[in-house]
Structure 1
Amino acid sequence: MLTELSIHDFAIIDNLSLTFHEGLTVLTGETGAGKSIIIDAVQLLVGGRGSVEFVRHGTTKAEIEGLFSIDNQKHPIFKIGKDFGIEIPDNMVVLQRTITSRGKSICRVNGKLVTLAILKEFGKTLIDIHSQHETQALMDPENHIGLLDLYDTQVINQAKLEYHKLYERLQLLQKRYKELSENEQEMAHRLDLLTFQMDELGQANLEPNEDTTLEEERSNLANFDRIYVGIQDAYNALYGDQKGIEWLSMAVQSLENNKNYDPFIAKKAEELANQFYMVEELSFDLRNYSDTLQYDPTRLNEIEERLSEINRLKKKYGSTVNEIIDYMGKIQEEMEEITNKDSHLAKLQGQINETKQDAYLEAKQLHDIRKKAAKELTKEIHYELKDLYLDKATFSIAFTSKEDIEAENGLNQALKLHKNGFDFITFLISTNPGEPLKELNKVASGGELSRIMLALKKIFAKHQGVTSVIFDEVDTGVSGRVAQAIAEKIIRVSEQSQVLCITHLPQVASMADTHNLIEKVEKDKRTITYVKELSKVQQIDELSRMITGAKLTETAKQHAKEMLLLADSIKQKI
Structure 2
Amino acid sequence: MLMELTIRNFAIIDEVSVSFEEGLTVLTGETGAGKSIIIDAIGLLIGGRGSVDYVRHGSKRAEIQGLFSIDPNMSKELIRLLEDLGISLDEEETIVLRRDITTQGKSICRVNEKLTTLAVLREVGQLLVDIHGQHEHQKLLQTDKHLLFLDRFAESSLLKTRNEYDKLYQQFLKKREQLMQLSESEQQMAQRLDLIQYQFKELEEAELQPNEDEELYEERKKLANSEGLYRTVHGTYESLYGDGKGLEWVMAAMNQIEEAASMDQDLHKLQETIANCYYLLEESSFSLRDYYESIEFDPERLNTIEARLSEISQLKRKYGESVNDILEYASSIQEEMDMLKNREQRLVQWEQELEAVANDLFVEANHLTKLRKDQAKKLITSIQKQLNDLYMKDTVFDVEFDSKTVSDFSANQLMKTSPFRRSGIDHVSFMVATNKGEPLKPLAKVASGGEISRMILALKSILARHEGVTSLIFDEVDTGVSGRVAQAIAEKIQHISVGSQVLCITHLPQVAAMADTHLFISKDEKKGRTRTKVRPLTVDEKAEEISRMISGVEITDLTRQHATELLEQAQQMKN
**Counterpart in 2 of 1:86?**
87
Report the CA distance between 1:158 and its aligned residue: 5.3
1:483 paired residue among 481, 486, 491: 486
Between the two proteins, what is the percent identity of the paired residues? 50
User: Structure 1: which 4+ aligned runs deviate by more than 6 Å?
Assistant: 411-415
- Give the residue type in structure 2 aligned to 1:84: L
| Counterpart residue number, 1:6 | 6
Partner of 1:69: 69
Distance 2:67 2:284 in 1: 64
| Equivalence for 1:392 | 394
Q: State the secondary structure of the residue aligned to 1:175.
A: helix
Does the C-alpha gap of structure 1 residues 52 and 340 become closer, same or farther in structure 2, counting only changes over 3 Å?
farther
**Aligned residue in 2 for 1:188:** 190
In the alignment, the residues of structure 2 paired with residue 316 and residue 130 of structure 1 have an alpha-carbon distance, to the nearest angstrom, of 53
Quote the residue 1:561 is aligned against. Answer: 564
Match of residue 228, structure 1, among 230, 235, 249: 230
Q: How does 1:490-529 map to 2 (within 5 A)?
A: 490-529=493-532
- Per-residue CA deviations over 1:65-117 (Å, capped at 9, x if unaligned) read 01112355453233333333222121221111112222222221222222333
Contact map agreement 2:22 2:499 (CA 8 A) in 1: no
**Structure 1 residue aligned with 2:33:** 33
| C-alpha separation in 2, matches of 1:162 and 1:102 | 48
Offset from partner CA, 1:359-409 (integer Å, 9 cap, x none): 334434433442333232222212211110112222222222122899xxx
Q: How does 1:269-284 map to 2 (within 5 A)?
A: 269-284=271-286
Distance 1:415 1:270, change over 3 A: closer
Does the 8 Å CA contact 2:67/2:96 hold for their aligned counterparts? yes
Unpaired segments ≥5 residues, structure 1: none
Gaps of 5+ in 2: none
Alignment check: 8 A CA contact 2:237 2:289 kept = yes
The answer to whether the Cα contact below 8 Å between 1:235 and 1:286 also exists between their aligned partners in 2 is: yes
2:135 to 129, 133, 136: 133
Q: How does 1:173-212 map to 2 (within 5 A)?
A: 173-212=175-214
Taking structure 2 as the reference length, the TM-score comes to 0.92
One-letter amino acid of the structure 2 residue matched with residue 57 of structure 1 = H
2:557 is matched by which residue type in structure 1? E
Say if 1:217 and 1:490 are closer, same or farther in 2 by CA, change over 3 A: same
**Which amino acid is 2:100 matched to?**
T
Closer, same or farther: CA 570–438 of 1 in aligned 2, 3 Å: same
Task: Quote the offset at 1:50 in angstroms.
Answer: 2.3
Q: Which of 355, 358, 383 does residue 357 from structure 2 map onto?
A: 355
Give 1:19's aligned residue. Answer: 19
Counterpart CA distance in 1 for 2:538 and 2:234 is 90
- Residues 1:540 and 2:538 aligned together: no
> Match for 2:26: what amino acid?
V
How far apart are the structure 2 equivalents of 1:511 and 1:21? 14
Q: Is contact 1:466-1:497 (8 Å) kept?
A: no
Q: 1:8 to 1:136 in 2, by over 3 A?
A: same
AA in 1 matched with 2:54: F
Letter in 2 for 1:24: L
Question: What do residues 105-132 of structure 1 show as CA deviations (whole Å, max 9, x unaligned)?
Answer: 2221222222333323322222111122
* More off after superposition, 556-565 vs 3-12: 556-565
Are the counterparts in 2 of residues 67 and 92 from structure 1 also a CA contact under 8 Å?
Answer: yes
Letter in 1 for 2:81: I
- Post-superposition shift, 1:7? 0.6
1:448-485 Cα distance to aligned partner (Å, 9 max, x none): 22111111111112222322110011112212111111
Tell whether 2:444 aligns with 1:435: no
Pairing of 1:346-495 with structure 2 (within 5 A): 346-403=348-405, 416-495=419-498
What does the per-residue CA deviation read over 1:283-334, in whole Å, with 9 as the maximum and x for residues that have no partner?
Answer: 1111111111012233333333332332333233222110111111112222
Deviations 1:502-543 (A, max 9, x none): 112222122112222222334334332222222233323322
How far does the alpha carbon of each residue in 1:110-157 deviate from its partner, in whole angstroms, 9 at most, with x for none? 222223333233222221111222222212211001111111334535
Residue of 99, 103, 106 corresponding to 1:104: 106
> Contact between 1:403 and 1:415, CA under 8 Å: does it hold in 2?
no
Residues 146, 294 of structure 1: CA spacing in aligned structure 2 closer, same or farther, 3 A cutoff?
same
Q: Is the 2:406–2:419 contact (alpha carbons within 8 Å) kept by the matching residues of 1?
A: no
Matched AA of 1:499: V
CA shift in 2, pair 1:226/1:382, >3 Å: same
Q: Which amino acid aligns with 2:196?
A: L
**What is the 5 A alignment of 1:247-266?**
247-257=249-259, 259-266=261-268
Deviations 1:8-54 (A, max 9, x none): 11222221111112211111223332222111111111222223232
Query: What is the DSSP-based 3-state SS (H/G/I as helix, E as strand, rest coil) of the residue aligned with 2:288?
Result: helix
Q: Indicate the SS of the match to 1:303.
A: helix
2:127 aligned counterpart, secondary structure = helix
TM-score of the pair, normalised by structure 1: 0.92
- Hey, what's the Cα distance between the residues in 1 that align with 2:540 and 2:207? 89
Aligned to 1:44: 44
Cα offset for 1:4?
Answer: 0.7
Specify the SS of the correspondent of 2:534: strand
Q: Secondary structure at the match of 1:53?
A: helix
Aligned residue for 1:551, secondary structure, equals coil
Q: How many residues align?
A: 568
- More divergent stretch after superposition (517-526 vs 213-222): 517-526
Aligned match for 2:574, one of 522, 547, 571: 571
Q: Mean Cα displacement is larger for which, 338-347 or 303-312?
A: 303-312
Q: Secondary structure of 1:93's partner?
A: strand
Matches of 2:153 and 2:44, distance apart in 1:
26
CA distance in 1, matches of 2:57, 2:158: 47
The whole-number CA distance in structure 1 between the counterparts of 2:227 and 2:406 is 82
Aligned residue in 2 for 1:216: 218
CA distance in structure 1 between the partners assigned to 2:23 and 2:487 by the alignment:
18
Give distance in 1, aligned partners of 2:163 and 2:114: 29
* Closer/same/farther in 2, CA of residues 74 and 475 from structure 1, 3 Å limit: closer
User: Which stretch shifts more, 130-139 or 286-295?
Assistant: 130-139
Contact 2:72–2:79 (8 Å) recurs in 1: no
Measure the CA separation in 1 of the matches of 2:338 and 2:156: 45
